[in-house]
């Protein structure tokens, strides 16, 4: 995976390294010495067996717990940082207890879910809306919560440190991500209705976002949400609901993912129908592949499904992303769903599909293309010389803005046929090429 550096991280590491931040590969030695162990291992979606495609795979968590138990000579607080299904702490406690040979060693398990988002991780850490710590409702449990809270209290006001029981903390993380994703899927569903009625999704989002009970965040219509958390966590929630017999609740949350898939598919279909129902052998320039701007992260990026959809109809793609490498794009286009989150055991399946080119310049991507397809909201796409781009393209020249970041009126004035998500449609797109 290629990532661009998290803003502010370098400075934090430089200031703390060698003082109170040390890196080491001697995992067992340091765990044996630690009072508090933060476990931040991956919890990918299972790809096979019971719960495949929904349930979280806890292999790495269990492995970490077994190792902690094996090397521990003193009592420790074990902090769950990874996003885990509800009740994971209970299972981990059993693994820890049964595998530690020293009967005097005790483990206190806390859930301390991480809410930071990529690109804003350092400011989310230094100035979080809240820190959540869940622990057992016993004297020991409360003491362990207080120990961890005292670490955060160095820079976070006490009223922002929320203390709950273990299960509430575990479930809060899944629910927070599910609720955020649900807002995007809700607004994306309305973007389709806007196109059918002539309403404008940005005006609708703005109108509802000014209701302080709803608020303005996470109401930007897009070609779909991506990233390593939202889909995984919702499917995990769905699986937990199914496991406890709550079928309707499971269906409700699953529909958030269904709506996300619908939005990607709908975008692909718009492109095909606008371009005379055929994109076969047509060059399409794809602007952006990362799941959001300011990162090279492509995990669950909507670009994967959109590009695959366009390739399935015979398009020739020329992809430009400021951060994502050619190798990563090809790997993503060839990797089956959910496989990306598992260590690659065999040679990586890198697509050498000739219908995809990856270039390092937006002008080059658009040269001789029939259309530009914007999939990530990178700021630099707003300042491309679109007149020069237009002049180098096949006519009619289309732009499909999957993030609503461009100046659509200016592009129309240059001669582009523009499709913007959830915006009133150009006559050409609404009535077909005859218009
Ligand atoms: C998310 C949560 O925000 C964070 O709290 C959690 O800890 C991890 O998951 P992240 O995946 O880094 O963080 O990205 P986020 O900024 O939440 O965006 C997720 C996706 O939603 C992106 O693809 C983004 O482009 C999309 N999005 C976001 C929209 O389509 N519309 C919006 O209004 C907001």
Residue 225 alpha carbon to ligand 1 centre in Å: 7
Whether 370 and 393 have beta carbons less than 8 Å apart is answered as yes
Centroid of ligand 1 to alpha carbon of 337 (angstroms): 19
115 touches ligand 1 (CB under 6 Å): yes
| Cβ neighbours for 25, distance < 8 A, ≥ 6 positions apart | none
Which numbered atom of ligand 1 lies nearest the CA of 227? 11
pLDDT at 161: 97
Please give the distance of CA 365 from its chain centroid, rounded to a whole number.
Answer: 26
Distance 227 CA to ligand 1 centre (A): 7
The mean predicted confidence, pLDDT, of the chain is: 92
Domain 9-167 has CATH 3.40.50.720: yes
Two domains, one topology: 9-167 and 275-431: yes
Any catalytic annotation for residue 4?
no
CB 314 within 8 Å of CB 280? yes
How many angstroms separate the CA atoms of 225 and 256, rounded? Answer: 10
Query: 229, 262, 305, 377: which to mutate for ligand 1, most atoms within 8 A of CB?
Result: 229
User: Per-residue pLDDT averaged across 293-298, rounded?
Assistant: 94
User: Which residue's entry shows tokens 């286009």?
Assistant: 333
Q: In the prediction, which pLDDT does 89 show?
A: 84
Q: Per-residue DSSP letters for 214-239?
A: T-STT----S---SSSHHHHHHHHHH
**DSSP three-state, residue 31:** helix
- Amino acid 318: pLDDT: 98
Q: Which residues does residue 401 pair with via DSSP β-bridges, in sequence order? A: 374, 420
Q: Is the CB of 229 under 6 A from ligand 1?
A: yes
- 299-344 pLDDT, tens digit each: 999 999 999 999 999 999 999 999 999 999 999 999 887 777 776 5
Q: For residue 150, give both structure tokens.
A: 């005292």
In angstroms, the CA 413 to CA 23 distance is 55
Q: What is the pLDDT of residue 45?
A: 84
Token pair for 184: 């995007």
Q: Is 292 in the pocket of ligand 1 (CB under 6 A)?
A: yes
> 237 with 55: CB under 8 angstroms?
no
Question: Hey, where are the domains in the chain?
Answer: 9-167, 275-431
Q: What pLDDT is stored for residue 42 in this prediction? A: 85
- DSSP lists the bridge partners of residue 372 as 285, 399
Smallest Cα–Cα separation from 221: which of 173, 175, 262, 277?
A: 262
The confidence score (pLDDT) of residue 140 equals 95
Ligand 1 atom closest to the Cα of residue 121 is 12
Of the residues 100, 194, 229, 307, only one is catalytic, namely: 229
Q: Is the minimum distance from the CB of 300 to ligand 1 under 6 angstroms?
A: no
Q: Indicate if ligand 1 lies below 6 Å from the C-beta of 335.
A: no
What are the tens digits of pLDDT across the range 370-413?
999 999 999 999 999 999 999 999 999 999 999 999 999 999 99
Q: What is the CA radius of gyration of the chain?
A: 24
H-run or E-run covering 357: strand 356-359
For residue 57, the model assigns a pLDDT of 85
Q: Any bridge partners for residue 319, and if so which? A: 286, 358
Cα→Cα distances 358→114, 154, 319, 392, Å? 34, 47, 5, 18
d(CA 379, CA 298): 17
Pocket of ligand 1 contains residue 173 by CB under 6 Å: no
pLDDT of residue 43: 83
CB 249 within 8 A of CB 429: no
Distance 117 CA to ligand 1 centre (A): 7
pLDDT for res 51: 86
Q: Is the Cβ atom of 117 under 6 angstroms away from ligand 1?
A: yes
* Residue 395 alpha carbon to ligand 1 centre in Å: 36
Tell me what pLDDT residue 407 has. Answer: 98
Q: Write out the H or E segment, with its range, that includes residue 266.
A: helix 247-274
Residue-wise pLDDT for 53-86, tens only, equals 888 888 888 899 999 999 999 999 999 988 777 7
283-287 vs 371-374, strand pairing mode: parallel
Closest CA to 37 of 17, 60, 65, 9: 65
With bands split at pLDDT 50, 70 and 90, how would you rate the model's confidence at 112?
very high
Looking at residue 346, its pLDDT comes to 52
Residue 87 in this model has a pLDDT that exceeds 60: yes
Nearest CA to ligand 1 atom 5: 115
HSE-CB for 328 with a 13 A CA cutoff = 22
pLDDT at 3: 58
* Confidence at residue 46, expressed as pLDDT on a 0 to 100 scale: 86
The whole-number average pLDDT for the span 345-368 is: 84
**pLDDT tens string 189-239:** 999 999 999 999 999 999 999 999 999 999 999 999 999 899 999 999 999
Q: What residues does 164 pair with on adjacent strands?
A: 134
Dihedral of alpha carbons 95, 42, 343, 181, sign: positive
Cα 352 to Cα 63, 126, 334, 356, 358: the distances in Å are 36, 43, 9, 8, 11
Task: Please write the tens of the pLDDT for every residue from 132-148.
Answer: 999 999 999 999 999 99
CATH assignment, 275-431: 3.40.50.720
Query: Residue 433: pLDDT above 60?
Result: no
Asked if 98 and 66 count as a contact pair (C-beta separation under 8 A), the reply is no
Q: Is the pLDDT of residue 428 over 80?
A: no
Tell me the CA distances in angstroms from 124 to 65, 129, 224, 307, 377, one per residue in order.
28, 8, 23, 32, 21
Is there an atom of ligand 1 within 6 Å of 222 CB? yes
């Amino acid at each position: 995976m290629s990532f661009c550096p998290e803003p502010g991280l370098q400075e934090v590491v430089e200031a703390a390294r060698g003082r109170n931040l040390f890196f080491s590969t001697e995992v067992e030695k340091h765990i044996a010495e630690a009072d508090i162990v933060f476990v931040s291992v991956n919890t990918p979606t299972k790809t096979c067996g019971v719960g495949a495609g929904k349930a979280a795979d806890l292999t790495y968590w269990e492995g970490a717990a077994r190792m902690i138990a094996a090397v521990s000579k003193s009592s420790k607080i074990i902090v769950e940082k990874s996003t885990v299904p509800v009740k994971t702490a209970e299972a981990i406690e059993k693994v820890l207890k049964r595998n530690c040979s020293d009967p005097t060693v005790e483990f206190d398990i806390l859930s301390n879910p991480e809410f930071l988002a990529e690109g804003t991780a350092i400011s989310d850490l230094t100035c979080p809306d809240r820190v959540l710590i869940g622990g057992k409702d016993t004297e020991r449990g409360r003491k362990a919560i207080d120990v961890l809270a005292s670490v955060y209290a160095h820079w976070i006001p006490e009223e922002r440190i929320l203390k709950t029981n273990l299960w509430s903390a575990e479930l809060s993380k899944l629910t927070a991500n599910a609720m955020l994703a649900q807002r995007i899927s809700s607004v994306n569903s309305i973007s389709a209705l806007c196109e059918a009625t002539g309403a404008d999704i940005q005006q609708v989002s703005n109108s509802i976002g000014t209701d302080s009970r709803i608020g303005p965040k996470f109401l930007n219509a897009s070609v779909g949400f991506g990233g390593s958390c939202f889909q995984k966590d919702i499917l995990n929630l769905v699986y937990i609901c199914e496991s406890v017999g709550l079928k309707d609740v499971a269906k409700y949350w699953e529909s958030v993912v269904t709506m996300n898939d619908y939005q990607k598919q709908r975008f692909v279909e718009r492109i095909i129908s606008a371009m005379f129902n055929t994109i076969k052998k047509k060059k399409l320039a794809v602007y952006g592949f990362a799941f959001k701007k300011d990162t090279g992260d492509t995990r669950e990026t909507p670009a994967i499904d959109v590009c695959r959809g366009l390739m399935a109809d015979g398009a020739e793609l020329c992809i430009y992303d400021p951060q994502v490498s050619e190798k990563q794009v090809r790997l993503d286009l060839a990797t089956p769903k959910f496989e990306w989150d598992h260590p690659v055991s065999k040679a990586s399946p890198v697509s050498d599909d000739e219908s995809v080119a990856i270039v390092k310049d937006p002008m080059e991507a658009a040269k001789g293309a029939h259309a530009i397809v914007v999939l990530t909201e990178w700021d630099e796409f707003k300042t491309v010389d679109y007149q020069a781009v237009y002049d180098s393209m096949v006519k009619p020249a289309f732009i499909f803005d999957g993030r609503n970041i461009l100046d659509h009126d200016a592009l129309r004035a240059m001669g582009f046929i523009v499709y913007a998500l959830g915006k009133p449609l150009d006559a050409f797109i609404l009535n077909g090429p005859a218009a």
